[in-house]
């Protein structure tokens, strides 16, 4: 009987194993393939990650550099930036990094253990492998990612080829008309790959293309995959369709006929012939291995398991989620679907599990109320924190004001969890976060007017610091700082602003 069984030895499982080792937890990670990081041996199909790897930053601070290193797992020895100098590196390098991480930190992974069944046990969970072995644990952490291709529901969908298995050789599509279903990065990388050899390519989904530089969500269409969009806008034969596919059927000559219903054209329908169709519509959570009494409820039309602010299943107590599955809590808003987001989530999850299941309270650094380092601490965190920068509005720090005059600094916490944490239920505390303002009205994200007036800081659309005050579980105040172009808040204007704020809130805690 283990304390924890962890399903999946990708970056999430390995990151969790690293923290479990530090905490001395009794755990076992189960991996169905022969080695760790197996997903990245195949995906993305074009063998180029969209997670950036900025080796040269101008800084030598490891914490700050994580802001632009989106592939390293949290640790003090092994950085992905030592494995590749490419800004968009190869996933093969990530596989090598994960393998070295596994060995360097002696993560407890049992490979070639294909899980066929997850059931409730007498004191927790029991996991059965294809080999017939049954393992038991008090708690279960699911870190399997999104492993099941999402298949739209329309007649003829079986005529489509799957993104995960279709040929990546452009010459196999020479002179053909190709339909690619989807408008995410997998669809766009597929379309880009076919531009030079096909007669034309259409990409199609009901929703319009969402560009990452407008939405600030890195899972939307990235510039590196946007060559295809330029070919459409410049009328180079390729097409972007905002439409539903009503059905797909085989024609007498062996081709395909696609029946579409336009999204924005008042119900207009059209028939479009193609030679081939490719499904690049993303992935869903695979719940097929779970018994009925421990199948997690799903959210977002079955895409993700539903979970609370502690990343615990809403209907299966003791079942937690790690990695890309964590994005259910900030779906398409911040970065929990990617390594640079969920690595910080997992660090917080380990602390939550230590407190909840092992009576090890989450402690922070303390200082006296009159401590003059408050402003220094806050500025340092705004300048350096990777989690706050990469998980805007989702992660932050906390300053707790205790009745005995002490201040307690808690760093790197998920704000959704902190707002429901029993320990803070009756406390007075401040949260510190970096957040975007309302940019829904902006059509050109490169031409935003910047207002340097501190009194208008709450109207800023760009990433900027926000301090919120809570008393008895309620937000009683909000203070914004004006954005800084290079996110450097160690300047006189910010020190003066923060000093005045904390002197008003806490007494004379600091001087400029």
Contacts of residue 62, defined as CB under 8 A and 6 or more positions apart, other chains included, come to 76, 79
Residue 509 banded pLDDT, cuts 50, 70, 90: low
pLDDT at residue number 510: 46
Q: State pLDDT tens for residues 88-98.
A: 999 999 999 99
Percent of the chain with pLDDT over 70: 95
How buried is residue 317: exposed, middle or buried, by Cβ count under 10 Å (0-12/13-18/19+)? exposed
Average pLDDT, the chain: 93
Mind listing the domains of the chain with CATH numbers? 2-148+283-358 (3.50.50.60), 157-279 (3.50.50.60), 365-506 (no CATH)
CB 118 within 8 A of CB 8: no
Report how far apart, in Å, the C-alpha atoms of 94 and of each of 42, 49, 70, 74, 295 are. 12, 9, 11, 14, 32
pLDDT at residue number 372: 64
Q: Which residues pair with 126 in a beta bridge?
A: 119, 136
Q: State pLDDT tens for residues 303-322.
A: 999 999 999 999 999 999 99
Contacts of residue 109, defined as CB under 8 A and 6 or more positions apart, other chains included, come to 9, 13, 14, 17, 29, 30, 31, 36, 102
CA dihedral angle for residue 14, residue 17, residue 21, residue 24, rounded to 10 degrees:
180
DSSP strands (E only) in 187-288: 200-205, 239-250, 256-262, 269-274, 276-279, 283-284
Mean pLDDT of the 422-439 span: 90
Q: State pLDDT tens for residues 15-53.
A: 999 999 999 999 999 999 999 999 999 999 999 999 999
- Rounded Cα gap, residues 51 and 40, in angstroms: 13
**CA-wise closest residue to 201 among 226, 183, 180, 225:** 180
Phi, psi of 57, rounded to the nearest 5 degrees: -120, -20
DSSP output for 256-280? EEEEEEESSSTT-EEEEEESEEEE-
pLDDT at residue number 506: 86
> Does the structure show a pLDDT above 60 at 291?
yes
- Rounded Cα gap, residues 118 and 121, in angstroms: 9
**CA-wise closest residue to 326 among 391, 381, 371:** 391
Rg (CA), the chain: 25
Q: State pLDDT tens for residues 163-208.
A: 999 999 999 999 999 999 999 999 999 999 999 999 999 999 999 9
pLDDT at residue number 122: 85
């Amino acid at each position: 009987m283990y304390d924890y069984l962890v399903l999946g030895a990708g970056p999430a499982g390995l990151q969790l194993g690293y923290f479990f080792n530090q905490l001395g937890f009794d755990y076992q990670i189960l991996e169905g393939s022969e080695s760790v990081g197996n997903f990245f041996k195949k995906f993305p199909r074009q063998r180029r990650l969209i997670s950036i790897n900025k080796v040269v930053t101008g800084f030598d601070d490891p914490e700050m550099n994580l802001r632009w290193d989106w592939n390293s797992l949290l640790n003090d020895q092994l950085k992905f930036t030592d494995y590749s100098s490419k800004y968009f590196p190869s996933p093969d390098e990530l596989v090598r990094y994960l393998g070295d991480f596994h060995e360097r930190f002696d993560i407890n992974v049992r490979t070639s253990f294909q899980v066929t069944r997850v059931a409730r046990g007498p004191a927790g969970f029991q996991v059965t492998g294809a080999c017939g072995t049954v393992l038991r644990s008090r708690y279960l952490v699911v870190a399997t990612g999104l492993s099941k291709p999402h298949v739209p529901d329309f007649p003829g969908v079986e005529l489509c080829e799957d993104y995960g298995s279709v040929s990546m050789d452009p010459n196999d599509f020479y002179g053909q008309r190709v339909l690619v279903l989807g408008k995410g990065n997998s669809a766009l990388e597929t379309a880009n790959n076919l531009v030079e050899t096909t007669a034309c390519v259409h990409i199609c989904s009901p929703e319009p293309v969402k560009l990452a530089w407008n939405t600030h969500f890195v899972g939307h269409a990235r510039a590196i995959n946007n060559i295809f969009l330029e070919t459409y806008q410049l009328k180079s034969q390729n097409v972007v369709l905002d439409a539903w596919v009503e059905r797909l059927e085989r024609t007498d000559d062996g081709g395909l006929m696609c029946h579409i219903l336009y999204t924005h054209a008042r119900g207009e329908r059209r028939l479009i012939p193609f030679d081939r169709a490719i499904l690049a519509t993303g992935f869903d959570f695979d719940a097929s291995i779970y018994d009925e009494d421990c199948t997690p409820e799903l959210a977002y039309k079955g895409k993700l398991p539903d979970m609370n602010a502690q990343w615990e299943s809403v209907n299966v107590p003791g079942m937690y989620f790690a990695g890309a599955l964590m994005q259910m809590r900030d779906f398409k808003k911040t970065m929990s679907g990617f390594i640079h987001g969920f690595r910080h989530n997992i660090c917080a999850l380990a602390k939550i599990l230590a407190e909840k299941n092992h009576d090890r309270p989450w402690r922070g650094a303390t200082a006296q109320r009159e401590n003059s380092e408050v402003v220094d601490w806050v500025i340092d965190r705004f300048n350096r924190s990777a989690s706050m920068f990469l998980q805007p509005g989702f992660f932050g720090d906390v300053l707790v004001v205790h009745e005995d005059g002490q201040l307690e600094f808690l760093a790197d916490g998920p704000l959704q969890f902190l707002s429901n944490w029993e320990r803070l239920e009756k406390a007075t505390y401040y949260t510190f976060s970096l957040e975007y303002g309302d940019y829904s009205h902006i059509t050109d994200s490169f031409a935003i007017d910047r207002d340097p007036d501190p009194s208008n800081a709450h109207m800023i659309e760009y990433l900027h610091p926000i301090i919120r005050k809570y008393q008895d579980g309620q937000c009683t105040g909000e203070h914004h700082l004006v954005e800084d172009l290079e996110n450097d808040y160690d300047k006189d204007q910010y020190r003066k602003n923060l000093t005045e704020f904390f002197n008003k809130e806490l007494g004379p805690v600091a001087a400029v």
